[in-house]
A and B are shown apart, each in its own frame.
Chain A
């Protein structure tokens, strides 16, 4: 029986609902000590002196470490996205190497104590004297220092995309729409703060770490500490959410390892919630400016899309915002530019829907404006500009955009919508609906992905790869894929992950996890199955002896062949007859090359209905519908959950989430979950998710394109377009806070 594609419940569900699933900070080793990190309270300047006497004298304190107590790291960290498969520092900087403070929260001292409370208290006793310099943390402070970046993503991607002559084409266009948006910074805030348990044994390091990439963490820590990679083991059983915060490797894990070496005992670190706002990157404050040119019949003739954002002193980092706007619609003239301002922040990082969530917001709200300008249905405008090929003329590896738009429109009831804005009322509430197309790029930066399959004499089997479970359902999906590939019952297969000792799979980021893991697991299961089938057909004692191996099918561990009715062998009997206690195989999947002649986007469509109270500025999302074409859906129950979560992240980005620094101090204004708003149950409407079935032969043997990001992309735009439809006003900033949404003074709301 095929189990891939069925809504199998999470295999880790019972452990999670009964509190048995252990997350990284829940590993307690004999002799464990507790680490607290002291972060800089200034955003720019230097540490003049650290008086640690009071902290060292406090009860239970084992060590207070400043830069003078800490060895220099063995290598200068160099930012590289973890998807590339190598070491992946989140920034090209490691703290506590000199006295310079580059950003608020930058670690300046470490406190190790017997107890958690002792470490936390002693950390407050560390007296740091600073020489503060003026800081720069906002776009407004640094606008005149902006420069055009050459490369993004640690050099992996160009920062400028250009074809044709966008400027000239805009000048000639029948219709132009121009819009500029300001986006506040976002913080991932997974509910589990970054956590590390570090323990040394005879020069070898084991780290229990909340990470989206055990191999990335292993390689980064080894590089920074100058250890052989084989001497660092990273174990990650469960991760309490990532959303990009744990996609790269930040300094805390290595600091914990250094502290553990110093005290000669295991060290446990869980950063505090306020610290998390300055420990694992963020989605940078940014502005985007887009100009669309179109003919009277609505065909796009030119797009100019520019982004301006704050980065760190060390890295040219920007979420790439033009990967979709440069490809989604057929348009001959395009210019996409990323400009940066170096400021006193840590290097920003991937945040769910990285780059394109806001890039698509900008594109798709501008498309909505264009539709109104042309008096055209916004759905029809998208259909009219659909292209079956990417800008290089390569066909999409799989498409589905038009089907998503049509299915979503039908399910949402789009056709019943009045065209005019501010036309529908429900008591005090103005009602509006909006839509947006959604797309997210697929990038094959990763090295080959491997897994190992092993079957034992009793017919039970294990499949292993080094990925980790952070809520995506990787354990469940891989169990399904492994069972099908090997031909055993679900109950007979265990999938193991979360350990860098297991075969390589790359960090689960950018929606690549499902594709990478399923491909590797499929390859390993198939390799072992082929090995066993060959053993059976060559085994004189097998009922299948002499059968063409290609004609053998295996289900529930039973081997049969249509050409030999009634003949049945089993894995158990096969292994027993051949005196084998087990059999194993490694399987690998090599991703297509970066220059594969295919367009690579995952498509979807988003629909929203909102109610707006124009006097109070409240926006309530009443309905969210999404239709998505993510290739093969490995488990519809889990895929739907992830897409739903992404759509609600889009809602949150539209309405709730944003942080600002106080320019006087260069520190984040909100550093807790009371002030940094994330959705609660009352904020979340019911969500409808539909799938459009597309076959994709390129993205892996199972054809899965991933669902982690696409749910979020376009959701905020659909909501913003619905807010326009409700109110007749475009809100030019996210989040759309009440003071922006409410009618300006003097407007007659009635």
Chain B
């Protein structure tokens, strides 16, 4: 793990590894991982819904765990592997969860969708998608204001059933 020399003011180089690519971004220490992704790396697939940790739209993976990018400082992600929605597909080949979301119409405006999908994939890996009750509880950190929830559950069930529980 690389330690960044603390700075009181101003920007400094912050190494970030996102979707398997290494970047060095000039950032102030107060910049969130979410803003680093969106404003500095132009990875705008990760959404800012509340910037307060209440909606889940900014869900990304850090070292394979789902985290809220709005509550994570970018400097704290240095030395860790960050995966965003842009890193989920295999080239042009969508991840099965992405395909399932399209097939089940599991979104409308699409603004929560990146976070829903990043949560949903992990849900299955974590073993928390066994029943509809589990899915409902463990997906409740991701708000969908369009209320596509039943379709989101259908998409997750499809991926779970076709993958034998492995996303």
Contacts and interface: CB of A to CB of B under 8 A. Distances in A.
B125 interface: no
Contacts of B86: 18-20
B143 interface: yes
B85 A19 contact: yes
Interface string B132-148: 00011101111111111
The 6 closest A-B pairs by CB, nearest first: A19-B45, A240-B111, A471-B109, A471-B108, A16-B110, A648-B147
A117 B28 contact: yes
Contacts of B78: none
Interface stretch (B52-60, B61-69, B158-166): B52-60
B45 to A, nearest CB: 2
Contact of B9 (A59, A637, A644): A59
A419 B44 CA distance: 54
Interface string B22-57: 000000101100010011001111111111101101
Interface string A354-393: 0000000000000000000000000000000000000000
A530 interface: no
Given A190-B111, A239-B109, A472-B108, 15 more contacts: A17-B98, A17-B114, A117-B31, A190-B109, A192-B47, A238-B110, A241-B109, A273-B51, A673-B49, A680-B140, A680-B141, A682-B137, A682-B140, A684-B147, A684-B150
Interface in A679-709: 679-687
B52 A672 contact: yes
Contact of A681 (B89, B114, B117, B135): B135
A589 interface: no
B31 A679 contact: no
A191 B55 contact: yes
B51 A642 contact: no
Contacts of A270: 48
Contact of B50 (A13, A21, A117, A673): A673
A672 B49 CA distance: 11
A262 B39 CA distance: 22
Contact of B110 (A240, A640, A674): A240
Nearest to B111: A240
Contact of B146 (A23, A59, A193, A241): A241
A117 to B, nearest CB: 5
Nearest to B32: A117
A470 interface: yes
A115 interface: yes
Contact of A673 (B10, B43, B54): B54
Nearest to B85: A19
B121 to A, nearest CB: 12
Contacts of A21: 110
A738 interface: no
Nearest to B84: A19
B60 to A, nearest CB: 11
16 contacts: A13-B101, A17-B117, A19-B114, A21-B110, A28-B39, A115-B39, A240-B111, A241-B109, A243-B145, A273-B51, A273-B54, A673-B49, A673-B52, A678-B143, A681-B137, A684-B150
Interface string A1-24: 000000001101110111111110
A644 B150 contact: yes
A103 interface: no
B137 to A, nearest CB: 6
Given A19-B84, A674-B52, A682-B140, A473 B42 contact: no
A376 B146 CA distance: 36
Given A23-B111, A191-B112, A682-B140, A674 B54 contact: yes
A117 B85 contact: no
A16 B45 CA distance: 8
Nearest to B45: A19
Among B84, B99, B105, B109, find the residue whose CB has the most chain A CB atoms closer than 10 A: B109
Contacts of A19: 43-46, 84-86, 114
A273 B50 contact: yes
Interface in B80-132: 84-86, 88-89, 94, 98-99, 101-103, 105, 107-114, 117
Interface of B: 9-10, 28, 30-31, 35, 38-39, 42-52, 54-55, 57, 84-86, 88-89, 94, 98-99, 101-103, 105, 107-114, 117, 135-137, 139-153
A116 interface: yes
Interface of A: 9-10, 12-14, 16-23, 25-26, 28, 59, 115-117, 121, 189-193, 238-243, 270, 272-273, 470-473, 637-638, 640-642, 644-645, 648-649, 652, 672-674, 678-687
A386 to B, nearest CB: 30
Contacts of B149: 648, 679-681, 683-684
A22 B44 contact: yes
Nearest to A685: B150
Contacts of A686: 150, 153
A17 B107 contact: yes
Contacts of B31: 117
B19 to A, nearest CB: 10
A452 to B, nearest CB: 26
B12 to A, nearest CB: 14
Given A17-B102, A243-B145, A648-B147, A116 B35 contact: yes
A12 B111 CA distance: 12
A218 to B, nearest CB: 22
Nearest to A16: B110
B57 A191 contact: yes
B50 A672 contact: yes
B47 A191 contact: yes
A238 B149 CA distance: 21
Nearest to A272: B51
B116 to A, nearest CB: 9
Given A18-B89, A26-B44, A644 B147 contact: yes
A303 to B, nearest CB: 32
Contact of B102 (A14, A238, A239, A681): A14
Contact of B145 (A12, A18, A190): A190
Given A273-B50, A637-B105, A680-B140, A18 B147 contact: no
B50 A16 contact: no
Given A191-B145, A674-B52, A9 B152 contact: no
B99 to A, nearest CB: 8
B146 A645 contact: yes
Contacts of B105: 9-10, 637-638, 640-641
Contacts of B152: 681
A241 B109 CA distance: 5
A674 B140 CA distance: 12
Contacts of A679: 147, 149
Contact of B45 (A12, A18, A116): A18
Nearest to A19: B45
A715 to B, nearest CB: 11
Contacts of B143: 191, 673, 678, 680
Contacts of A685: 150
Contacts of B39: 28, 115-116
A59 B8 CA distance: 13
Contacts of A672: 50, 52, 54
Contacts of A687: 150
Contacts of B99: 17
Nearest to B31: A117
Contacts of A684: 136, 147, 149-150
Nearest to A18: B89
Nearest to B103: A9
Contact of A17 (B94, B142, B147): B94
A652 B149 CA distance: 13
Contacts of B45: 18-20
B94 A18 contact: yes
A617 B139 CA distance: 24
Given A10-B105, A18-B86, A637-B105, A471 B110 contact: yes
Nearest to B48: A270
Nearest to A679: B147
B108 A642 contact: yes
